Amino acid sequence: MKHVIVGAGPSGVIAAETLRKVDPTSSIIMIGDEPEPPYSRMALPYYLIDKINEEGTYLRKSSSHFGNKDIDIIRDRVSTIDPKNKSLNLEQHDAISYDKLLIATGSHPITPPIEGMDLPGIHSCWTLEDGRNIVNKAKPGSNVVLMGAGFIGCIILESLALRKVNLTVIEMGDRMVPRMMDQTAGNMIKSWCQEKGVSVHTSTRVDAIEKDSGDSLKVKLDNGEVLDADLVISATGVAANIQFLDGSGLETDEGILVNDRLQSSIADIYAAGDVCQGKDFSTGEYSVQAIQPTAADHGRIAAMNMAGKDTVHQGCVNMNVLDTMGLISSSYGLWMGIDGGESAKLCDNDRYRYLSLSFEDDVMVGAQAVGLTQHVGVLRGLIQTKLKLGKWKDHLIKDPTRIMEAYLANTQAIGHNAGVI
């Protein structure tokens, strides 16, 4: 059996390793288009603050890891796929055939349709190469404008602030991380950043970027303000890397459409990670989540199915954890709540603490937390196990911090379970 994986990010790597485990005699080829060994974009913010060097971003630390597992890595880009002949055309190498194909090509930063976005001095923060450029230009005292205060914007915000630049953040939503957290939390993060000396403009758009004298830029905002910038970082969202599939017959929407085995519309072709429009645990619908835990789950499940071990994907809980200049926030599942569902909220603006739990009947379906680092994972556990909370829902409405107790009371030998053992 010959497995070919397009993409060398977390999903592709986990798929390759899983395939080696469950299909030991197969041939496995992984194709990646970046010059470095497989690395993690998640680690880039820590590279920006010199917490780690480039090697620290690598997904696997041993240089012989892939060789030892007999996983061949080809450095190239796939130009087109030919499902009829089960082969891939590469830009530089000869075409390669496959028995089973996994597309794990990830996503790319989108460029907003704004005049001047092609000027030098405007970077995304997506690849190691981007990271190197930012490290070079974000010098102490330089003026940096960050476009977008979504997840990626917020996570690199701290790196930039630590590099002692004069930072201004422009977000068109009415709060920070609008796709991850509600008004209360998003505005709490905003005032935290402002208190730390970062200028944050929400409900604001960039109208145009123009070249100024030398290397500097002028960023024009829709409120009439004009900002000087030595560096502009664009973090306005990502989109799935599906362009190369045009004409292949593979069905796509926001990402590659798959069934609950992560199999695409064409037999023998699977998709995983940011490029895959997979099942969402909470909604039952298929959407692109573009998060690390989902990429890992997809990689493993797609590989199982490619190896002929029928494995159903139950759907991933959409979740994120974010550190914005030391303020840690996380959100899970249907964090915005559901119609007719109850919720439990605890909010302390002065101390930057917020906890919001959403329920459907007595089952937790979503959660958001700001300033909480202890036992946060249990929120995922409570949601994904659909644990019936019984009277503990009322306890949580009175005191949402008792999430661990709510979990333990319903799973351990205490309370109504005390008779067991």
- Which positions lie near other proteins, rule CB under 8 A? 10, 14, 40, 42-43, 45-46, 51-52, 56-61, 292-293, 296-297, 300, 319-321, 323, 326, 328, 330, 332, 373-381, 384-385, 403-405, 407-409, 412-415, 418-421
**What's the min distance (Å) between Cβ of 276 and other proteins?**
17
Distance CA 401, CA 221 (A): 41
Q: Which residue has the tokens 């010199």?
A: 50
Q: 74 or 367: whose CB is closer to other proteins?
A: 367
C-beta closer to other proteins: residue 58 or 270: 58
Q: Measured from the CB of residue 65, what is the shortest distance to other proteins in angstroms? A: 9
The two three-digit tokens of residue 308, written as one number: 């002929």
Compute the least distance from the CB of residue 382 to other proteins, in Å.
Answer: 8
- Minimum gap (Å) between residue 294 Cβ and other proteins: 10
At its nearest, how many Å lie between other proteins and the CB of residue 138?
A: 19
| 266: CB partners within 8 A, 6+ apart | 83, 248, 249, 250
The pairing of strands 269-271 and 353-360 is unpaired
Closer by beta carbon to other proteins, 49 or else 221: 49
Q: What's the CA gap between 329 and 204, in Å, rounded?
A: 23
> Angle at the Cα of 357 (from 352 to 362), degrees rounded to 5?
160
CB of 31 vs other proteins, minimal distance in Å: 20
In whole angstroms, how far apart are CA 214 and each of 123, 210, 230, 358?
A: 17, 12, 10, 52
* Cβ distance to other proteins smaller for residue 90 or 317: 317
Short-list 231, 71, 18, 45, CA closest to 138: 231
C-alpha 89/C-alpha 355 separation (Å) is 50
Pick between residue 48 and residue 250 the one whose CB is nearest to other proteins. 48
- Name which of 194 and 373 has its Cβ closer to other proteins: 373
